[in-house]
Structure 1
Amino acid sequence: MNMISWVLLLLVILTLYLIDKVNHLAKLYEPPKPPEPVAQPEAEPSGDLLFVGLEGKKLWDAMNGKAVDGFDSKLLDSLRLHYEPILRAHISAAFHDGVRDANEAEAQTPSSQRQISTVRGHVQSWLPPQHLGSIYRVGVEYGGAYAKDPNPDVLARLKQTLDSVSSMLYQRAGVTLDVPYSELLLSPPEPEPQAEAQTPEDVLALTDQTDQVQVLEPNLAQGLEHAQAYEEQQRQDLAAGADAEVIEATLSEHELKPA
């Protein structure tokens, strides 16, 4: 073998050795495991499937016509009809909170966000705090000062405030307000039903007993005849008994006299 052959053989052997050495070192070295990703807590989905992804102020902004990522404007327009019960429940709840807190020493501040129950679950609703504050204060005055001293002027002012604020919210949300909230929440209590006054015809019907008298007169006359007949029979029986006693006494005297 010439020199070139020996050199090639040595190179092949060296190459095989290096490959084996690299494989051996690779088995000994274990790279560090990458850190496991931290599981992010899933956001609680809306109970109402119609409003999935629309919660709180985002829902209010969407109903106000603002663009929301991932929601088409036509879809948002179709949701307004289903948003009206949520808006109505939120406004009514703020008013009733005020009525409930009317006798408290210090009025509370209503929360802008509230969970509203729907027929499909629940939705986190949000309304502007300044509007909710006005509705809440109407409830406080209605359940407090007005309840203690009803005043028509005060009631008219409360109705005007409630209708003005609620109609503004409906207008901003693009929802039709069919019935004013003053009729829903500030309706005066219905008067207690009173007994109907008797008409002259009713009084006449109660006092007119002519037919009854006419019916009773023949029966009364017949009863008197029976009573008189009974008394006459009693007198005849008594007289007959007395006559029998006299005859018996006379016969007894004749029998006792000597012949």
Structure 2
Amino acid sequence: MTSLLLLAVLFGSVILVVLMIYLGDRVKRLEIMSLHDSSEPAEVVKPKNDNGFLGLSGKKLWDAMSGKVPEGFVEADVVALKRVFEVVLKNHIETLFKLGKRDATSGNSPETPKNPLEISTLRHSIESWIPAQHVSTIYKAGYESIGADEVSVSRLRANLDDAADTLFSRTALAIKQPFSERLFAAAVALPATGSLIELDEESLNVDDSDNASQLPD
């Protein structure tokens, strides 16, 4: 009887030892799997593409700068962008004017520029949109400035400044220098009809590289 009891105790002890070894090995495997999973980088949710204007571009950007704060945006954050948008708007106006001059100089027929137009700043490239009537006015001012007489130049300067003033006013920005002073500064006006002034042919070949904005291809 005693032998059977000792045998049962021994057998139970063996089973207990085997079970402890199995459980220990199982726990070790679970720990290794847990460490392996934690070492893998967690999937990072990429933020929305920030173009420097909280992701706004084109007409949405224009509307925001004109006082129509998009849903989900904080007004203070949108207003803070105006200083940078001033550079975009300035480059947009200059680019449209110079596109007109380029087409006229190349002998191309006037075309309607893209709207929105890709405008580059020092840090970003942004699709800039402005009302179509101002796109046409600014482009035509540049196109018709080539070979224009003094009377036409005065009219084109006024048209350019009126369009620029309207755009800056609608976005609550101030123009520090009339655009006509810079964009027409290098222009050489032909004499009015009937004038006897003779022009040196070389004076018509004006270098327009100063204050140039990058033109789209």
TM more than 0.5: yes
Instruction: Determine if contact 1:170/1:177 at 8 Å carries over to the other structure.
Output: yes
Instruction: Determine if contact 2:58/2:129 at 8 Å carries over to the other structure.
Output: yes
* Deviation readout 1:40-90 (Å, 9 max, x if unpaired): xx99834x3x31321111000000001202211111111111110000111
Change beyond 3 A, Cα 1:141–1:116: same
Given candidates 94, 110, 120, the residue that maps to 2:113 is: 110
Instruction: Determine if contact 1:101/1:140 at 8 Å carries over to the other structure.
Output: yes
* Deviation readout 1:193-227 (Å, 9 max, x if unpaired): xxxxxxxxxxxxxxxxxxxxxxxxxxxxxxxxxxx
User: Structure 1: how far apart are the matches of 2:163 and 2:184?
Assistant: 14
User: Structure 1: how far apart are the matches of 2:47 and 2:151?
Assistant: 49
Change beyond 3 A, Cα 1:132–1:44: farther
Instruction: Determine if contact 1:63/1:173 at 8 Å carries over to the other structure.
Output: yes
Aligned counterparts, 1:1-259, within 5 A: 45-46=49-50, 48=51, 50-102=52-104, 103-143=106-146, 145-146=147-148, 151-188=149-186
Secondary structure class of the residue paired with 1:115: strand
Aligned to 2:43: none
Q: Which structure features the higher share of helix residues?
A: 1
User: Structure 1: how far apart are the matches of 2:171 and 2:120?
Assistant: 19
Secondary structure class of the residue paired with 2:80: helix
User: Structure 2: how far apart are the matches of 1:96 and 1:113?
Assistant: 16
User: Structure 1: how far apart are the matches of 2:182 and 2:108?
Assistant: 27
Structure 1: segments with no counterpart, 5+ residues = 1-41, 191-259
Q: Please, what is the CA RMSD of the aligned residues?
A: 2.1
Change beyond 3 A, Cα 1:159–1:43: farther
User: Structure 2: how far apart are the matches of 1:136 and 1:44?
Assistant: 34
Aligned length: 142
Determine which structure has more spread, i.e. the larger CA radius of gyration.
Answer: 1
Change beyond 3 A, Cα 1:43–1:91: farther
TM-score by length of 1: 0.51
Runs of 4+ in structure 1 over 6 Å off: none
